[in-house]
Amino acid sequence: MKRTLFSGLAGAALALTLLWSQPALVSAAQAIAPHSTPVEATYGRGGGGWRGVGAVNVGQLIKALQNLTSLDAATIRAELQNGRSLAQIAAAHGSSGDALVQAVVDAAKARLDQAVSNGRMTQAEADQMLATIRERATTLVNDTTVGTQLADRAAKAAERSTLGWLIQAAADQTGLDVATIRSRLRNGETLRAIVTSAGGDPQKVIDAAVNAFRQAATAAMQ
């Protein structure tokens, strides 16, 4: 939990000043929930079925590829960023895309078999879900844009996190409520303009957001 929190905080710190002066980014990011799960655990998962038992995502595929090869997660992510698919990475290191898909399917089948055994789904439902998992996994494994998609989603997550810190600091500094600030952002105002029009000091808002981040980061590292 601390690692996940710190990752989000680090992204927020890096983007604080950048977002402040880019109204287009602020406007686009503000409507999205401030807290999100890690991008690898959500990208490509689609419908998860019963309590997510039928989900498949890039994080699972990366882990499976680690088990099939001697690669670590950082190396796999770097290869993805360079435009290679998981299948290409697997083939270059003694495995294959088909083996990777099968590994994920086998793991899912074990979960589905247990769900059937527990009476939580029928065999027909499990068979259909397993077919969907194989299809999704095959698509993800052969997609050469996965690295780019993950990077884009990570950047957006950092923007969302940053905006949350800034909006809260702006609310504290100006007395405006968070809902009002978000509504005005949706209507095209920049956060700087909102703060200034309320008699606030933009630099004090930035300082307060950075200070709040620093305190949260310190607590997360305890």
Break the chain into its structural domains and give their ranges: 2-35+157-220, 40-149
Q: What is the predicted pLDDT for the residue at 65? A: 96
Region of residue 154 (left: phi > 0; alpha: psi -120 to 50; beta: else): alpha
Is the pLDDT at 89 greater than 60? The verdict is yes
Is the pLDDT at 25 greater than 80? The verdict is no
Q: Which residue has the tokens 């990777």?
A: 100
Is the pLDDT at 37 greater than 70? The verdict is no
Separation CA 86–CA 64 (nearest Å): 10
Phi and psi dihedrals of 221, rounded to 5? -90, 0
